[in-house]
Chain A
């Protein structure tokens, strides 16, 4: 690690300590922080809730970071792929009567094929082109997906009443069943993808392509095939994320935009193209949002300000993000 790199890491660490201390300080000043047992229970519930949430966010951020890492394309349609996953799950649940978790087994292959098709038809043209090309192509794809979904499903909000009960972790900490299920699945799927990338031959080829596509090609890796697999995998991650989102929140064709933004903030925070960074970024973002909301007076209105403020600050202090990916 170079010296400037180390310095920016320390600076970032110091900044993050301040950022996370801020809600506590404001809360103490406003009198919303009470250090009794009940309040600490609230705090713990909120942090646990944030971690559960962050795990799911991290999973679809992983897909975004994968495409970016391998092809240097910012997939602006990633949130729409999440939305597509939510609708696939919804259709499977309400029309075919398939359990939302079981339906992941059905939807993942569909998502993979969808990703491959998108790569073939659209993204192949954007690889190696200026970054704006990929951004515009995927932006257009996202809009097309939104309006297609509106045609089929209308703009009505949908939700799936699945596992609505509660899990009492301790007497003070409760968390939703669906959240626990989502979190466990998100961690399992993310870990599987991570291990695939780390250990399998194909995964290593993906990483090699991410490091340097030309060298990978010289070494005999079929780079175009790697691109297909990458986008297929990213789409599958997004669709799986959509399934997990659909059992927690309401969604309509336009909610995808929100998830694109969230995934964006997460990978900027964690480090673009960095897989573990996405996980850490996801957890950090969700926990900070919840802390601000719990302690700052009228803090829920400031959640987005805090989240994107964090993103911008990280970009300024350490453009490569937490895990420090060097540009160029």
Chain B
């Protein structure tokens, strides 16, 4: 047992080196050598292990490309943590169906084209036995065409845009709440404090656009007038003009479909320009662990969305407490929802593989489509499109802490709204 574990860790080390020198000459030589080695081993052993894609040393190759650099590196990085944690735990338990996992995690640099290429490579050259999902809706949407072509299923933990699942694809499933519901709680809270006019802004990419569409629909349903709707380029840093425009349109609440840098910039500039809104809500930024710390008092009263929070007593999903402890011990911070979602998805995948009993992708696909699994992230059971009906929660940053304020069944405290004016904070 010990020797297998040793070989697996050295295996993942060499993978990391591969990631860093990816595309270089060294890698090619290494690949040729590895290939020659594998051939030699096959000839010497002269045996197959009985399932497709078999490898020496009773290993199973699990691979994926996820953003470790670039604009998505921050949220995706937390998913990488969970993936590593899961791999080591499974290997310590004796592996996946008795096979030691060798992890091949490549970096797509937050770039769609790179990701497509890497998945082609993982499937056709590396011949991975099990695929892991990428991060972000835009990249997942693009990669979904690749794995669909090769009939290799994966469970997406970094994509929440409905259109991905509305194109009749059979090999992609999701675990997280849909983008359209990210602002649901914030819009409800806005309604409760009597907001009648709102602005919806967001980064110009797939996920924020979907979240914006959902926010607009919720506003319509609850009778809030959307007075301004605008997207901005992904690299926008100066929001002075946009914020002035929002104020000029008399919006009382701002639903911002944003990541870290943009939501942080918007908040800081609102404060600089002394622009007061009754409510400000952002989709991703506030849910990242260092948001309150980096922004200080400027982050107070901001609403954010979370798919999940590390609150075992509030959410009560099985195994949560233990997962949180192990994660915190290893990475020195509590897992956020990106981490939780990835771990939940891997739990489902593991359960599905156990049910199937082999690495048969077609059977795995059927299991993912029909199974019901309880995970640390919540219940998994997909509809005909392959989408899970996960319910998220809305929190507010209060005195540097994220406190759940919506839905009421999970609320830790009452939302403190409307937001006080900057001069009174």
Q: Cβ of A166 and Cβ of B272 under 8 Å apart?
A: yes
The reply on A32 being an interface residue by CB < 8 A is yes
Q: Cβ of B260 and Cβ of A250 under 8 Å apart?
A: yes
Q: Cβ of A161 and Cβ of B422 under 8 Å apart?
A: no
CB distance from A175 to the nearest CB of B (A): 7
Chain A residues numbered 2-39 whose CB sits less than 8 Å from any CB in chain B:
32, 34, 38-39
The reply on B47 being an interface residue by CB < 8 A is no
The reply on B27 being an interface residue by CB < 8 A is no
> Inside 8 A of B261's CB, which chain A residues have their CB?
157, 249-252, 255
Q: Cβ of B238 and Cβ of A289 under 8 Å apart?
A: yes
Q: Cβ of B233 and Cβ of A290 under 8 Å apart?
A: no
Chain B, residues 244-278, CB within 8 Å of chain A (1/0): the string is: 11011000000000001100110011011110000
The reply on A88 being an interface residue by CB < 8 A is no
Q: Cβ of B241 and Cβ of A150 under 8 Å apart?
A: no
The reply on B71 being an interface residue by CB < 8 A is yes
The reply on A301 being an interface residue by CB < 8 A is yes
The reply on B11 being an interface residue by CB < 8 A is no
> Inside 8 A of A258's CB, which chain B residues have their CB?
235, 237
> Inside 8 A of A34's CB, which chain B residues have their CB?
248
Partner of A175, one of B264, B265, B273, B296: B273
Q: Cβ of A157 and Cβ of B235 under 8 Å apart?
A: no
> Inside 8 A of B29's CB, which chain A residues have their CB?
none
The reply on A170 being an interface residue by CB < 8 A is no
CB distance from A269 to the nearest CB of B (A): 17
Q: Cβ of A176 and Cβ of B268 under 8 Å apart?
A: yes
Report which residue of A39, A161, A248, A297 has the largest number of chain B beta carbons within 10 angstroms of its beta carbon.
A161
Q: Cβ of B73 and Cβ of A155 under 8 Å apart?
A: yes
The reply on A274 being an interface residue by CB < 8 A is no
Partner of B248, one of A38, A248, A292, A293: A38
Given contacts A38-B248, A39-B248, A301-B233, contact A53 B268 (CB under 8 A): no
Chain B residues numbered 295-312 whose CB sits less than 8 Å from any CB in chain A:
295-298
The reply on A327 being an interface residue by CB < 8 A is no
CB distance from A43 to the nearest CB of B (A): 8
The reply on A133 being an interface residue by CB < 8 A is no
Chain A, residues 229-253, CB within 8 Å of chain B (1/0): the string is: 0000000000000000000111111
Given contacts A155-B77, A303-B233, contact A166 B271 (CB under 8 A): yes
Instruction: Please measure, in the bound complex, the distance between the C-alpha atom of A301 and the C-alpha atom of B208, giving whole angstroms.
Output: 13
Q: Cβ of A250 and Cβ of B272 under 8 Å apart?
A: no
Chain B, residues 217-238, CB within 8 Å of chain A (1/0): the string is: 0000000000001111101111
Report which residue of B70, B230, B237, B298 has the largest number of chain A beta carbons within 10 angstroms of its beta carbon.
B237
Partner of A300, one of B230, B265, B273: B230
Q: Cβ of A166 and Cβ of B245 under 8 Å apart?
A: no
Chain A residues numbered 32-58 whose CB sits less than 8 Å from any CB in chain B:
32, 34, 38-39, 42, 45-46, 49-50, 53
Given contacts A39-B248, A166-B271, contact A154 B231 (CB under 8 A): no
Q: Cβ of B236 and Cβ of A300 under 8 Å apart?
A: yes
CB distance from A180 to the nearest CB of B (A): 9
Task: Kindly report which residue of chain A lies nearest to residue B203, judged by CB atoms.
Answer: A301
CB distance from A305 to the nearest CB of B (A): 9
Q: Cβ of A250 and Cβ of B77 under 8 Å apart?
A: no
Chain B residues numbered 60-113 whose CB sits less than 8 Å from any CB in chain A:
68-71, 73-74, 77
Q: Cβ of A300 and Cβ of B231 under 8 Å apart?
A: yes
The reply on B391 being an interface residue by CB < 8 A is no
The reply on B294 being an interface residue by CB < 8 A is yes
Given contacts A164-B296, A164-B298, A301-B232, contact A250 B273 (CB under 8 A): no
Instruction: Please measure, in the bound complex, the distance between the C-alpha atom of A26 and the C-alpha atom of B294, giving whole angstroms.
Output: 38
Given contacts A155-B73, A300-B233, A301-B204, contact A293 B269 (CB under 8 A): no
The reply on B58 being an interface residue by CB < 8 A is no
Chain B, residues 272-286, CB within 8 Å of chain A (1/0): the string is: 111000000000000
Q: Cβ of A49 and Cβ of B69 under 8 Å apart?
A: no
Chain A residues numbered 117-147 whose CB sits less than 8 Å from any CB in chain B:
146-147
The reply on B240 being an interface residue by CB < 8 A is yes
Instruction: Please measure, in the bound complex, the distance between the C-alpha atom of A156 and the C-alpha atom of B242, giving whole angstroms.
Output: 25
CB distance from A162 to the nearest CB of B (A): 9
Task: Kindly report which residue of chain B lies nearest to residue A43, judged by CB atoms.
Answer: B244
Chain A residues numbered 157-177 whose CB sits less than 8 Å from any CB in chain B:
157-159, 161, 164-166, 168, 174-177
> Inside 8 A of B233's CB, which chain A residues have their CB?
300-301, 303-304
The reply on B290 being an interface residue by CB < 8 A is yes
> Inside 8 A of B77's CB, which chain A residues have their CB?
154-156
Instruction: Please measure, in the bound complex, the distance between the C-alpha atom of A205 and the C-alpha atom of B77, giving whole angstroms.
Output: 50
Task: Kindly report which residue of chain A lies nearest to residue B294, judged by CB atoms.
Answer: A159
Report which residue of A32, A179, A293, A303 has the largest number of chain B beta carbons within 10 angstroms of its beta carbon.
A293
CB distance from A13 to the nearest CB of B (A): 25
Chain A, residues 82-104, CB within 8 Å of chain B (1/0): the string is: 00000000000000000000000
Q: Cβ of A175 and Cβ of B73 under 8 Å apart?
A: no
Instruction: Please measure, in the bound complex, the distance between the C-alpha atom of A290 and the C-alpha atom of B201, giving whole angstroms.
Output: 16
Q: Cβ of B238 and Cβ of A174 under 8 Å apart?
A: no
Q: Cβ of A175 and Cβ of B236 under 8 Å apart?
A: no
Instruction: Please measure, in the bound complex, the distance between the C-alpha atom of A300 and the C-alpha atom of B294, giving whole angstroms.
Output: 26
Instruction: Please measure, in the bound complex, the distance between the C-alpha atom of A301 and the C-alpha atom of B272, giving whole angstroms.
Output: 22
The reply on A80 being an interface residue by CB < 8 A is no
CB distance from B105 to the nearest CB of A (A): 15
The reply on A291 being an interface residue by CB < 8 A is yes
Given contacts A155-B77, A176-B269, A250-B261, contact A46 B230 (CB under 8 A): no
> Inside 8 A of B241's CB, which chain A residues have their CB?
46, 49-50, 289-294, 299-300
Instruction: Please measure, in the bound complex, the distance between the C-alpha atom of A53 and the C-alpha atom of B244, giving whole angstroms.
Output: 16
Instruction: List the 5 closest A-B pairs by CB distance, nearest first.
Output: A176-B272, A155-B73, A293-B241, A161-B296, A49-B240
User: A interface vs B, CB < 8 Å?
Assistant: 32, 34, 38-39, 42, 45-46, 49-50, 53, 146-147, 150, 154-159, 161, 164-166, 168, 174-179, 248-255, 258, 286, 289-294, 297-301, 303-304
Other than the given A176-B272, A254-B70, A303-B232, 5 more pairs (CB < 8 A) read A34-B248, A157-B261, A164-B297, A249-B238, A301-B230
Ordered by A's residue number, 29 sampled pairs between the chains whose C-beta atoms are within 8 Å are A45-B273, A46-B241, A49-B238, A53-B238, A53-B240, A157-B74, A157-B290, A157-B294, A161-B294, A164-B296, A164-B298, A165-B272, A174-B273, A176-B269, A176-B272, A249-B237, A251-B261, A254-B69, A254-B71, A289-B241, A290-B238, A292-B241, A293-B245, A297-B230, A299-B230, A300-B230, A300-B242, A301-B231, A301-B233
